[in-house]
């Protein structure tokens, strides 16, 4: 993966062939304009469109928004990690707060999915983050420790370094409210500490951590590299290819994370 990561979560949007077609035309134009970005761009459309998105220029990778933990079987409506892999998909978002909230996904379920994704050589982009109430009660540290603890339980170093974490405070998703740079950096430090204690500092430096929740190109520096994050996970704003390009450009212009840490 490149220096920074941009993940676009298109959620359950783009509802007609025309809309999908127009989005792909505009995205292709915007991406071709960017000369070899040093940013991994991963777009996650509804699974019905994965095949079309997979045909985008290779500067754009394609990811799923969810996957089951079994490789096949009687699970009506689900999509398996093995199917994704066999159809050339490399990434999958897991544990998104909307899945946790509307589909009852617990830490245990998310963990089963993470293990299955890794088993099938997919890169899991795993969302963790506290609710507003948990933040107000001062529980950010314990929530992050619990969720990260569950994600990484029993993973070897090799598996752990393939996990991408997305810190997405639930109260910041779809709300136009974002934490301050200092609040995001505190979580970044908690995650680094957790990984250093669970593995070692070298592994902690390898695991990519993204920020997600109401990211716009105007706020991107303060929620990503200024907070020592390696990139962003973007919902609504990724529905505009022009905004995607602006955010990718902004990440491209970010200083090297190693330099930023030594500032
Ligand atoms: P948002 O969504 O950018 O619309 O707040 C973030 C997400 O889906 O994780």
Say what the pLDDT of residue 34 is. 80
- In angstroms, what is the span from residue 205 Cα to ligand 1's centroid? 25
Beta carbons of 125 and 92 less than 8 angstroms apart: yes
What is the atom index within ligand 1 of the atom nearest the CA of 215? 3
The Cα 14–Cα 51 span in angstroms is 15
**Measured in angstroms, how far is the CA atom of residue 156 from the centroid of ligand 1?**
30
Residue 103: Cβ-neighbour burial (10 angstroms; 0-12, 13-18, 19+): exposed
The partner residues of 125 in beta bridges, in order of sequence, read 93, 164
Ligand 1 proximity of 129 Cβ (cutoff 6 Å):
no
Contact 122, 97 (CB under 8 A): no
**What's the confidence (pLDDT) of residue 32?**
85
**Is residue 9 lining ligand 1, measured as CB closer than 6 Å?**
yes
Nearest ligand 1 atom to the CA of 9 is 8
Residue 68 designated active-site: no
Distances in Å between the Cα of 108 and the Cα atoms of 122, 140, 147 are 19, 19, 9
Positions of the chain with pLDDT lower than 50, given as ranges:
262-263
* Mutational pocket test of ligand 1: of 13, 95, 211, 215, the residue with most ligand atoms within 8 Å of the beta carbon: 215
What is the predicted pLDDT for the residue at 259?
58
User: Hey, which residues does 208 pair with through a beta bridge?
Assistant: 164
User: What's the confidence (pLDDT) of residue 35?
Assistant: 67
Between the alpha carbon of residue 227 and those of residues 32, 80, 230, 251, 257, the distances in Å are 29, 34, 9, 13, 10
Report the pLDDT value the prediction gives residue 263, as an integer from 0 to 100: 41
Q: Which of 42, 233, 238 to mutate to test the pocket of ligand 1 (most atoms within 8 A of CB)?
A: 233
Tens of pLDDT along 227-242?
Answer: 999 999 999 999 999 9
**Cβ within 8 Å of residue 122, ≥6 positions away:** 67, 81, 84, 85, 89, 90, 91, 92
CB 215 near ligand 1, within 6 Å: yes
From the candidates 130, 168, 230, 237, which is the catalytic residue? 168
Is 245 a pocket residue for ligand 1 (Cβ < 6 Å)?
no
Check if 168 is active-site. yes
Of the CA atoms within 13 Å of residue 103, those in its CB half-sphere come to 15
């Amino acid at each position: 993966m490149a220096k920074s990561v941009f993940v676009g979560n298109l959620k359950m949007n783009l509802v007609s062939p025309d809309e999908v077609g127009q989005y792909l035309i505009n995205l292709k134009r915007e991406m071709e304009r960017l000369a070899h970005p040093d940013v991994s761009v991963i777009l996650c459309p509804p699974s019905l469109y994965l095949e079309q998105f997979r045909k985008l220029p290779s500067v754009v990778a394609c990811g799923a928004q969810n996957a089951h933990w079994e490789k096949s079987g009687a699970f009506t409506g689900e999509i398996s990690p093995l199917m994704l892999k066999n159809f050339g998909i490399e990434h999958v978002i897991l544990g998104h707060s909307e899945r946790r909230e509307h589909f009852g996904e617990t830490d245990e379920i998310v963990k089963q999915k993470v293990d299955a994704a890794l088993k099938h050589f997919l890169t899991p982009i795993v969302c963790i983050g506290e609710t507003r109430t948990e933040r107000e009660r001062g529980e950010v540290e314990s929530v992050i420790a619990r969720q990260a603890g569950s994600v990484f339980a029993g993973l070897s170093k090799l598996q752990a370094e393939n996990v991408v974490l997305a810190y997405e405070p639930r109260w910041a998703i779809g709300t136009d409210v974002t934490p301050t740079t200092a609040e995001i950096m505190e979580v970044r430090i908690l995650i680094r500490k957790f990984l250093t204690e669970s593995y070692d500092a070298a592994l902690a430096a390898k695991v990519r951590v993204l920020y997600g929740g109401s990211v716009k190109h105007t706020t991107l520096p303060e929620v990503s590299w200024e907070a020592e994050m390696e990139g962003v996970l973007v919902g609504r704003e990724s529905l505009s290819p022009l905004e995607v390009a602006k955010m990718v450009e902004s990440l491209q212009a970010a200083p090297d994370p190693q330099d930023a840490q030594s500032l």
